Amino acid sequence: MKITVFGATGGTGTRLVRQGLQRGHEVTAVVRDPARLPAELRERADVVVADVMDPDAITPAVAGRDAVLSAMGPRGTGPTTVCSSSARSILTAMERTGTRRLLMVSAAGLESDAGDGPFTRYVLKPIVQRVLRHSYADLARAERLLRESGTDWTIVRPARLTDADATGRYRTARDLSVRGGHTTTRADLADCMLTLIDDRTSVGHVVSVAT
């Protein structure tokens, strides 16, 4: 497939690019600073230098693609609009070009649901939600934009991300949190997102992923 990755120089985005290439996909990596993408990936991917917040700049990178994957995320815990503003821009570019499949990284801590155990629901998540309230408010806005769009969207919510190697044994849950799942490796998250691209049953759903 032809896929475009936003946030390609981040921890998850880099793994999406690498694993996408390993799977034989044609990968377009949208970056602001190409030097932050590992050299071996720069040589194999189609690297596009553009500001994700500018729909005009990213429209060529979205046109004709089978799927768009967003791994955008803020730095720090202060007020931010990185996720929602980038989502709005990406959706605008996709609408212009007719590209329909969109997968976006969110966060498992965003809300509590029936998949959570008592400790997670009443202790852990409330603490995390207070600490990351600005980031989560931004993610909630981004999720709302996807839900209201006409795209074939899937929101992917990992648990606390780690840089450990892929486990190959992650679990997923649809429209629920993964029971007892407290961490997700970025490598597993990337594998999950790439697998979900052509899973039509995940369209219009939130997929949680954790080990």
In this predicted model, what pLDDT tens digit does every residue of 53-77 receive, in sequence order?
Answer: 999 999 999 999 999 999 998 877 7
Residue 56, C-beta contacts closer than 8 angstroms, at least 6 positions apart: none
Name the pLDDT band for 94 (thresholds 50, 70, 90). Answer: very high
pLDDT score at 123 = 59
Is the pLDDT assigned to residue 36 strictly greater than 70?
Answer: yes
DSSP reduced 3-state for 46: strand
Instruction: Please state, rounded to an integer, the average pLDDT across all residues of the chain.
Output: 93
Q: Are 35 and 14 in contact (CB under 8 A)?
A: no
Residue type present at position 77: T
Half-sphere exposure (Cβ direction) of 138: Cα atoms closer than 13 Å = 20
Task: Report the pLDDT averaged over residues 142-160.
Answer: 97
Q: State the helix-helix crossing angle for 11-22 and 186-196, rounded to 10 degrees.
A: 50
- Side-chain-side CA neighbours of 56 within 13 Å: the count stands at 0
Task: Specify the pLDDT at position 124.
Answer: 65
Residues 187 and 168: their CA atoms lie apart, in Å, by 9
